Amino acid sequence: MNFTRWSARLPGTQRRAAARTEQTASPDRRGEGSVPAARAEQLTDEPPSVPAVDELRVREVLDRVPSLVALVHGPDHRIAYVNDAYTTAFGVRPLGERAREALPELDALGLFPLLDQVQRSGKPRTVKSRKAPDGRSYTFTCTPVAQGDGKGGSDGRGVLVFATDVTDHAEAAERLRASERRQRETAVTLQRSLLPQELEEPDDLRVAATYHPGGTEAAVGGDWYDVITLGGGRTALVIGDVMGRGVRAAAVMGQLRTAVRAYARLDLPPHEVLQLLDGLAAEIDANQIATCAYAVHDPNEGKLVYASAGHLPILVRDENGTVLRADEPTGPPLGTGGWMHSSGSIPLSPGSTAVLYTDGLVERRDADLDEGIAALERALAGATGTPQVVCDRLVRSAGVTPDHDDDVAVLVLQHPARTGPDSELFRNAALELLGGVEAAPRARAFASGVLTSWRFPADLHDLGVLATSELVANSLQHGTPPMRLRLRRTDRRLIIEVTDGDDHLPRRRRAEPGDESGRGIAIVATIASNWGCRRTPGGGKAVWCEFALPRT
């Protein structure tokens, strides 16, 4: 086939062809005595002229380029030309044959539909980094070409296939992707290992949580959650998000989560816990900040007391399906310093469900954050069932998929409304202590009557009365009015608590043989399963102890 009859439709081709025609039409006129051309070349100092690119034969150029070049023509893509590089890569290809049979490598790469499209549209198309049967990767550019006479019609159209070897780039990109996958797997493994493997199970709450890592290494961050039983029937609930991605964020998250558990054991108010965390976050990394919400549930109060460091608001659905959003107070994120956090509260009555979550659940690039929170409120309003069912439903309603662009943590808790036989296992009894010499005997009699009505075994009854006597005696000696005794039973434990108006916390100490006092707390710590004390929000303190109930 005459290769010169085909020309690529590239900018400037027609202009350069016209210029060559004009040059040919104006021959050099020499007069008599003119120097012959050969002689002129000998007399001039200028180097021999180099032919312009437009004057080079196209085939000579294409035969020398290292890229693979093939030219097909006609509706059935018959082979018009293949260059030396193409032959070296795939072997000799017969000219004039149908490309579908003679160029099986293009068929294996799925390029024939692209050739049809280029021939029909007259527009070039490119496919990047296709792996060929020879094991190397190529980027293919298919450019329409036409016969030099400019005639239209499918018989006069061809396609120039130009393949650039990008194997090195493809392998480097694959190594980079493999490295990113390993980093993501490391971050996810670290993240999951630092999250609670099993949630603690409070007596008065049912809880469930889930964590979904983002779909790429850049989307694996420092989201975390935790449930911490504080003793005395109280439970701390934590949700947080370290700003940043990858292993570093997960490592910082692990340090903050460990610190939260340590501070929680001090049974401090939520805002004091966040105050301590704020200082620690600045020490871990001055450039690393995190958001966190810390809440405490006390079954005797029927509410969540919480503090927030730049975190999203807690949502609570009551037993009627109405959703409340926890408002202020909200301080800046952890690690910013210079801010005094404060605590707020939101009702959590029996039959209520609360949701703590990170921004990956509600934040989208194309929507306002408030719209995402409002959508979560609507989903929560219709979500019923166990905490795990509610958790899964909220994640689905938010459209979280495996390739989500951010990680997501969700913590769901329910304060169940107990009726029937179940309600008999959760009972409360309280007595106001007026002081005086009759206060201790009255407290012992009250405790004995309550424990008898709850049908506890004799040994547990006696231990409960003894613990009540010691706690009340300690409060009468060291505390100030108002004083109160509270007994609470759950399906797993007996809790005895005494509150008074003095904020001095007792501590366990070793009493000398001659001491007349100082043994009360030591006795309680010896006979009880657990004991503790804390300051109360309105001033004063609460001292409590627990007894594990025998399993039936």
| Distance, C-alpha 422 to centroid of its chain | 39
* Residue 377: per-residue pLDDT: 96
Q: Is there a cis peptide before residue 347, judged by omega within 30 degrees of 0? A: no
* Residue 3: per-residue pLDDT: 53
Q: At CB < 8 A and 24+ separation, what contacts does 547-552 make? A: 547/460, 547/463, 547/464, 547/467, 547/493, 547/494, 547/496, 548/492, 548/493, 549/456, 549/460, 549/489, 549/491, 549/492, 549/493, 549/494, 550/457, 550/460
* Short-list 325, 357, 327, 332, CA closest to 344: 327
Looking at the DSSP bridge assignments, the partners of residue 543 are: 498, 533
Q: What is the DSSP letter of 236?
A: E
Is the CB of residue 187 less than 8 Å from the CB of residue 153?
no
Q: What is the pLDDT along the chain (552 residues), one digit of tens a residue?
A: 455 455 544 444 444 444 444 444 444 444 444 444 444 444 455 555 555 655 667 777 888 888 899 999 988 899 999 999 999 989 999 999 999 899 999 988 889 999 999 988 889 999 988 888 888 899 999 999 886 544 545 556 899 999 999 988 888 888 888 887 777 777 777 777 778 888 999 999 999 999 888 766 555 668 899 999 998 999 999 999 988 777 778 888 889 999 999 999 999 999 999 999 998 988 888 778 899 999 999 998 889 999 999 999 999 999 999 999 998 778 899 988 778 889 999 999 999 999 999 999 998 888 889 999 999 999 999 999 999 999 999 999 998 887 777 889 999 999 998 888 778 889 999 999 987 778 899 999 999 999 999 999 999 999 999 999 999 999 998 889 999 999 999 999 999 999 999 989 988 776 555 555 567 888 999 999 999 999 988 889 999 999 999 876
* Residue 552: per-residue pLDDT: 65
Residues present in the chain in total: 552
- Neighbouring CB atoms inside 10 A of 285's CB total 16
Full DSSP string of 338-355: S-----EEEE--TTEEEE
Q: What is the pTM of this model?
A: 0.70
Q: Is 499 helix (H, G, I), strand (E, B) or coil?
A: strand
What is the rounded distance in angstroms from the CA atom of residue 81 to the CA atom of residue 58?
A: 12
* Residue 518: per-residue pLDDT: 63
Q: What is the DSSP letter of 36?
A: P
What is the rounded distance in angstroms from the CA atom of residue 217 to the CA atom of residue 185?
A: 8
Q: Is 216 helix (H, G, I), strand (E, B) or coil?
A: coil
Which residue is associated with the tokens 């104006």?
26
Say which residues have a Cβ less than 8 Å from residue 321's Cβ, sequence separation at least 6: 381, 382
* Short-list 352, 359, 357, CA closest to 316: 352
Is the CB of residue 293 less than 8 Å from the CB of residue 240?
yes
Q: What is the DSSP letter of 202?
A: -
* Short-list 232, 262, 201, 269, CA closest to 532: 232
* Short-list 194, 248, 204, CA closest to 226: 194
Looking at the DSSP bridge assignments, the partners of residue 130 are: 138
Full DSSP string of 395-450: HHHTT--TT-SS-EEEEEEEE----THHHHTSEEEEEEE--STTHHHHHHHHHHHH
